[in-house]
Amino acid sequence: MPVPVLERAAAEMLDWQGTGMSIMENSHRDKKVVAMAEETQAVLLELLGLGSEWKVLFCQGGASLQFAMIPLNFAVGEVADYIDTGMWSTKAYQEAEIVGAKPHLAASSKADDFTYIPREYKYSEKPRYVYLTSNNTVRGTQWPSFPQDAPAPLIADMSSEFLSRPLDLSKFALVHAGAQKNVGPAGLTIVLIRPDFAETARKNVPHMLDYRTYIEHDSMFNTPPVFAIYVAGLVFKWLRDEIGGLAKIQKLNQAKAEYLYNAIDQSGGFYRGTARVDSRSPMNVTFRLANPDLEKTFLDEAKKANMAGLNGHRSVGGMRASIYNAVDFQAVKTLVDFMAEFQKKRG
Amino acid sequence: MPVPVLERAAAEMLDWQGTGMSIMENSHRDKKVVAMAEETQAVLLELLGLGSEWKVLFCQGGASLQFAMIPLNFAVGEVADYIDTGMWSTKAYQEAEIVGAKPHLAASSKADDFTYIPREYKYSEKPRYVYLTSNNTVRGTQWPSFPQDAPAPLIADMSSEFLSRPLDLSKFALVHAGAQKNVGPAGLTIVLIRPDFAETARKNVPHMLDYRTYIEHDSMFNTPPVFAIYVAGLVFKWLRDEIGGLAKIQKLNQAKAEYLYNAIDQSGGFYRGTARVDSRSPMNVTFRLANPDLEKTFLDEAKKANMAGLNGHRSVGGMRASIYNAVDFQAVKTLVDFMAEFQKKRG
């Protein structure tokens, strides 16, 4: 997370906006808290260039609860199409089955170890929606652009790339993003939804699982995660005012990713990217060593050099550098220098 | 919230446990974060005097999501008994209907405006559980003790009294409590559950709505609300180490509540408590003025004297002093002095 955001959260911990209390102690019905939440929504829509046909919801439970909420609202007893690009979309498909929807697999890159984003789809005839995971943390892939010819509105889990680039959401009806990657503290799930789509949900959904509840009560049907919303708002304003918007942060992210992917590609095969070049994620750079026996040594030495967290997801092994918005170019340069040094010693 | 807790959270905002990062930035799979979460669970069980037959879960979505999760797990197509003591238990009953359970009303004080806790129950023959709300924020009532002869395990929403007094949970199978009253920041819902009871849940519940998911993964199936868990842990340790445990905090809470209720009772009818004396809540003290036309003036002047938040719940009006754990005796004394002064001027 950006240091200025953390500094401000610390400074305001005992007295937020002159209330003499922490933001955590102010009631969510307090005018100042309501105004803060509304401003957070407005800045987010401004960042994304979205108008009032979209609504920002503050949900909880992460992507995993969205996996169930989406089919529970829109596809119980009905067909919905899923594009499988790895662990997270597989889980979304499974939850759709659990709630009694009829998920249809429109495409999958499973046979190739999820190393790429499929570009051809076998849609069902009349799906309720088409679901995809826009950035895949485990395999290090990302959709460069989204389907334009789907027979239903798109829905995407954008948790791990949200606010890292401008997005064309014209074909979408719902987007969800856990806050813990690019937005703020865990425990807040941002949902962008078109209210006209929400209106098509079935009746008799439990209130906290019904998107209309959040729309009607402006995400304050019950107490929302106020502190997380407040920190998210600080991050949104940092992105707008300090960074200069999503086109700017995309440039910064691309520069970091290119620098790291170049280092991998130009290592003469010592390092090897695991994702297909046309599907590479600028957020999660996954790679292996030609000699897998050296990987543990690489990770141990990286940790000693103060670069923890380079382990690949435990389901696939290898290495993964997660270079979200708050990671700066210098940190990537330090990693690339370390990689060159390691290759010199062990190559 | 206790000032020392907020001070510590502020001091550690940019460097938690020497990690050089905020707790919000540490992965929930990090050993230090896992250890922090485990310690938080252990201190809570210690405070409550509970053993390993209980499990602490970190959920999200507040009591309102528990209203749906409980019947979804345990009573779809089955009978469960509900005791209605006001708005929150009414909502719990309604969610049970929505998910397809068969809620049975075992008792209700609705006919008397929910001014008391019923002590006689018409249980159904074989309910799956008996549900109650142990402290009612809107009407200012609290269960002094819990049913001992129920034909099924008790389940309670204890959101607004959790950790304000020692509890005998021997008849309970599940207790839930939103963190925002006595525990910590909104966005964390503490669930205490007996794993043997969780095992009796039906199959095919969405993962994030299935208590077994939280038990099996120690509340880390997906990213939990780490910052809120961390603050809750600080509050638990404050209760144990600074206050001296739940019997001590109960004494402090009783002293505050008695002082305020006495002031109401001895006002010669100028102030009037709305809850029946045997059902009064030590957490939420609800009262009216004999002359209702003066109530707005009372609230306006209280606000000017820096006592905001004395409005009764918008569904009932009047006044409500919420004197949770973190409110000290001096604050109650200030209120009582103000009340005496107001009566002198306007009585």
- pLDDT at residue A19 above 90? no
Closest C-alpha to A184, from B25, B242, B259: B25
- pLDDT at residue A288 above 90? yes
Q: Where are the domains of chain A?
A: 3-243, 246-346
Of B184, B186, B207, the CB nearest to A224: B186
Say if B63 is an interface residue toward chain A (CB within 8 Å). yes
- pLDDT at residue A182 above 90? no
pLDDT digits (tens, 9 = 90+) for A84-97: 999 999 999 999 99
* Least confidently predicted of A89-98, A241-250, B10-19: B10-19
- pLDDT at residue A260 above 90? yes
| ipTM of model | 0.94
Taking all residues of chain A, what is their mean pLDDT, rounded to a whole number?
Answer: 95
SS3 B33: helix
pLDDT for res A25: 84
pLDDT for res B308: 82
CA distance A59 to A62: 8
pLDDT for res B27: 83
Is pLDDT larger for residue A150 or for residue B314? A150
In the numeric block, which tokens belong to residue B116? Answer: 């008391």
Shortest distance, CA A25 to any CA of chain B (angstroms): 7
Say if B31 is an interface residue toward chain A (CB within 8 Å). no
Q: How confident is the model over B144-152, as a mean pLDDT? A: 96
pLDDT for res A183: 85
pLDDT for res A336: 98
pLDDT for res B1: 87
CA distance B35 to B38: 5
Cα distances (Å, whole numbers) of residue B297 to B294, B306, B317, B335, B343: 5, 14, 14, 15, 12
A264 pLDDT tier (thresholds 50, 70, 90): very high
SS3 B94: helix
pLDDT for res B225: 94
pLDDT for res A242: 95
Asked whether the beta carbons of residue B208 and residue A178 sit closer than 8 angstroms, the reply is no
Asked whether the beta carbons of residue B98 and residue A206 sit closer than 8 angstroms, the reply is yes
pLDDT for res B162: 96
Q: How confident is the model over B140-145, as a mean pLDDT? A: 96
Q: How confident is the model over B107-116, as a mean pLDDT? A: 97
Q: How confident is the model over A227-251, as a mean pLDDT? A: 96
Would you state the CATH architecture of domain A3-243? 3-Layer(aba) Sandwich (3.40)
Is A246-346 assigned to CATH 3.40.190.80? no
List, as ranges, residues 93-112 from B with C-beta within 8 Å of A. Answer: 95, 98-99
* Least confidently predicted of A216-230, A231-245, B22-36, B320-334: B22-36
Q: Is B18 exposed, middle or buried (0-12, 13-18, 19+ CB in 10 A)?
A: exposed
Taking all residues of chain B, what is their mean pLDDT, rounded to a whole number?
Answer: 95
Asked whether the beta carbons of residue B95 and residue A22 sit closer than 8 angstroms, the reply is no
pLDDT digits (tens, 9 = 90+) for B58-103: 999 999 999 999 999 999 999 999 999 999 999 999 999 999 999 9
Contact predicate B288/B272, CB 8 Å? yes
pLDDT for res A181: 80
A58 pLDDT tier (thresholds 50, 70, 90): very high
- pLDDT at residue A217 above 90? yes
pLDDT for res B65: 97
Of A22, A206, A223, the CB nearest to B95: A206
pLDDT for res A228: 94
pLDDT for res B77: 97
- pLDDT at residue B184 above 90? no
Asked whether the beta carbons of residue A60 and residue B60 sit closer than 8 angstroms, the reply is yes
CA distance B56 to B175: 10
pLDDT digits (tens, 9 = 90+) for B264-277: 999 999 999 999 99
Of A1, A178, A206, the CB nearest to B25: A1
In the numeric block, which tokens belong to residue A291? Answer: 């000699």
Asked whether the beta carbons of residue B222 and residue A63 sit closer than 8 angstroms, the reply is yes
Q: How confident is the model over A125-133, as a mean pLDDT? A: 98
- pLDDT at residue A200 above 90? yes
Q: Do domains B3-243 and B246-346 have the same CATH topology?
A: no
In the numeric block, which tokens belong to residue A200? Answer: 């098509």
Cite the active site residues of B.
88, 157, 181
Q: Across-strand partners of B136? A: B141
pLDDT for res B30: 86
pTM: 0.95
B181 pLDDT tier (thresholds 50, 70, 90): confident
Pairing of strands A319-322, A284-289: antiparallel
- What residues contact B17, with CB distance under 8 A and at least 6 apart? B32
Phi then psi for residue A142, to 5 deg, are -145, 145
Q: Within chain B, where are the H helices? A: 3-11, 31-48, 62-74, 87-98, 195-198, 211-216, 226-237, 246-265, 295-304, 329-346
- pLDDT at residue A185 above 90? no
A332 pLDDT tier (thresholds 50, 70, 90): very high
Q: How confident is the model over A11-35, as a mean pLDDT? A: 90
